[in-house]
A and B are shown apart, each in its own frame.
Chain A
């Protein structure tokens, strides 16, 4: 697997089409990401 144009577009499209709020919810609640506070 290489980071070619198609793969870049695929990643870009996902993050362009999802709202910030939805991504935040998915990251925390669905995948268990933990917020970092400096």
Chain B
């Protein structure tokens, strides 16, 4: 028993314990939204909608937007 605790990765079929939903939700809400905001700026800002005025954000990520498959002008 002590051995299996000392070398936990030697059993490839072991399934880790579930994480309680309550422990995930705060992280998921805060960082989920943050990540979506980042994706919005890469994928859609100054296309159909604009938060920042002008064309600079759009022009800066222009090639990434095309190559990542987002709709672009």
The answer on A and B forming one complex is no
A interface with B by C-beta (< 8 Å):
none
